[in-house]
Amino acid sequence: MEVSEIAAKRILTPSRIPGVDYSLNPYLGCSFGCRYCYVSWMPWVRDRGRRWGEFVEAKANAPALLREELKRATPGMVAIGISTDPYQPIEARLRLTERILEVFRGNSARERGFRVRVLTKSPLVLRDAGVLAELDAEVGITVTTDSEGIRRLFEPRAPPIPLRIRALRELKRRGVRTYAFVGPMLPMDPEGLVGMLSGAVDRVVIDRMNYP
């Protein structure tokens, strides 16, 4: 895995996703390297000449950029982790996502009308449960199937499904609003997945496979 640090030019990107005003990604590239990820087909990935899942570029100046951009940005929904997982393994060392959340808290972003939504596959998100609860953030964890066998085929380097379900339950216990992102829907026992998610989430978002 090749990890490098870069200086981003901006960190809040206007979004065309319904209900989302800004996309915020602390990293480019993702070490989980899920086989269905739509980002792997984007031109900027091909331009780097490296295989998806084998590189991560950390936006080292992201917290400082966000602090400045919040001064002039129109309040709205900020979705963290739309293109790359904000809690992939390198986050445990670099703590970029943690520092970004602290910027939102330190700038009274919630009181000013900024809302935060996080999407991840990693139970590392539990580390930041306190600040997420303070921000009244919503946290989604991607759960594409109830089968570990299928998960290992499509998401071989991502955390096991039982750990994701456990993280959802713990977040909910700590007062964080939660949702499951079942996207893309992979082969599964639907009743089995419903049973896993029962009591762990406030809502479920379902998406199809986006073929190249």
In whole angstroms, what is the distance from residue 135 CA to residue 4 CA? 30
Work out how many domains the chain is built from and give that number.
1
Residues of the chain with pLDDT under 70: 211-212
pLDDT value at residue 211: 67
Q: Is 58 a domain residue?
A: yes
Q: Which of 61, 86, 69 is nearest to 22 (CA)?
A: 69
Helices (H) and strands (E) in the chain, counts: 9, 10
Q: Is 100 a domain residue?
A: yes
Cite the DSSP H helix spans in the chain. Answer: 43-47, 62-69, 91-94, 96-106, 109-112, 129-134, 148-154, 161-173, 190-197
pLDDT value at residue 44: 76
For the CA atoms of the chain, what is the radius of gyration?
17
pLDDT value at residue 203: 98
Q: Is 192 a domain residue?
A: yes
Q: Residue 144 belongs to what domain range?
A: 2-206
pLDDT in tens, 152-182: 999 999 999 999 999 999 999 999 999 999 9
pTM for the model: 0.96
Q: Is 211 a domain residue?
A: no
pLDDT value at residue 49: 76
Backbone angles phi, psi at 32, to 5 degrees: -65, -35
Strand 13-14 versus strand 22-24 pairing type: antiparallel
- Burial, 73: exposed, middle or buried (Cβ in 10 Å; 0-12, 13-18, 19+)? middle
Kindly list the strands in the beta sheet with 2-6, ordered across the sheet, starting from the edge strand earlier in the chain.
2-6, 55-59, 27-28
In whole angstroms, what is the distance from residue 12 CA to residue 14 CA? 7
Q: Is 212 a domain residue?
A: no
Q: Is 53 a domain residue?
A: yes
Q: Could you check whether the bond before residue 184 is cis, i.e. omega within 30 degrees of 0?
A: yes
pLDDT value at residue 212: 59
Query: Given CA atoms 174, 87, 117, 24 in this order, what sign does their dihedral have?
Result: positive
Q: Is 127 left (phi over 0), alpha (psi -120 to 50) or beta?
A: alpha
Q: Is 17 a domain residue?
A: yes
Q: Is 139 a domain residue?
A: yes
| CATH, residue 57 | 3.20.20.70
What DSSP designation does 159 have?
P
